Copies of this chain bind each other. A is one copy, B any other.
Amino acid sequence: MSLSKLIGARGEAAADDVPAKRERRKEARPKELLDAALDLFVEKGFAATRAEEVAVRAGVSKGTLFLYFPSKEDLFKAVVQENISGRYAEWNQEFVDFEGTSADMVRYCMKVWWDRIGATRASGITKLMISEARNFPELAAFYQQEVINPGKRLIRRILQRGVDSGEFRAGMDLEYAAYAISAPMIFLIMMKHSLAACAPEDYPLDPERYVMQQADVVLHGFCAKPEGTDR
């Protein structure tokens, strides 16, 4: 599938109910509002999204929106929080349980990153956070702590596992290697929600193929073969 085909592909919905107070409030809050807001914020940015548009798309009146979210800014924060709340634990576990080479782990990591985030509506959050970070520093800090850093730690663990097993080069700089893995994902996601959305014909790219290819490229550099990729 090409990147241009992916654009506008709406994804799944999360259907987990049951306990916890936070959970309950989240349930009670019209999920439709957060859904509508996510779409619009991603598409038009925070400032250009009008509160009424969100309400209308969610099928309620303007007043109702403010019944649930005291302000547009609060709505924005809720959208981000709602959508980044952890499926991390679950995903993380997969890697704890993972059996196979560390190279496969890296490939798997990139693949699921794309499948579960990049290819779904969740990628909108990534785009949103990066686009609006300077306007919402507080939220950016939260995102950094709750999303970026855990993700980074996961990647580090994978890389460390490769180094420990002798599969990856001993001297490799884990910090830099982590970025090598992230960059293609972030790049793809940002493009999907910006320029590629405006001119799909200029981005005849199959993201999955690109991701797998990039996985191979970076692994090339990681592997404990003769010549180093690093200078």
Contact = CB atoms under 8 A, between A and B. Distances in A.
Contacts of A48: 47, 135
A26 interface: no
Contact of A140 (B141, B195, B212): B195
Contacts of A188: 183
A190 interface: yes
A197 B205 CA distance: 30
Given A130-B195, A195-B144, A214 B180 contact: yes
Contact of A133 (B149, B194, B218): B194
A contact residues, range: 35 or more
Contact of A220 (B135, B198, B221): B221
Contacts of A129: 194-195
Contact of A176 (B183, B195, B205, B221): B205
A147 B212 CA distance: 27
Nearest to A188: B183
B45 A193 contact: no
Interface in A31-70: 43-48
A131 B131 CA distance: 5
Given A44-B134, A202-B144, A213 B230 contact: yes
B194 A134 contact: yes
A91 interface: no
Interface in A154-196: 175-176, 179-180, 182-184, 186-188, 190-191, 193-195
Contact of A217 (B47, B133, B180, B205): B180
A53 to B, nearest CB: 13
A186 B141 CA distance: 21
Nearest to A217: B221
Interface string A192-231: 0111011100101100011011101110110000000111
A213 B199 contact: no
The 6 closest A-B pairs by CB, nearest first: A47-B47, A183-B187, A131-B131, A133-B194, A140-B198, A130-B194
A48 B135 CA distance: 8
A62 to B, nearest CB: 12
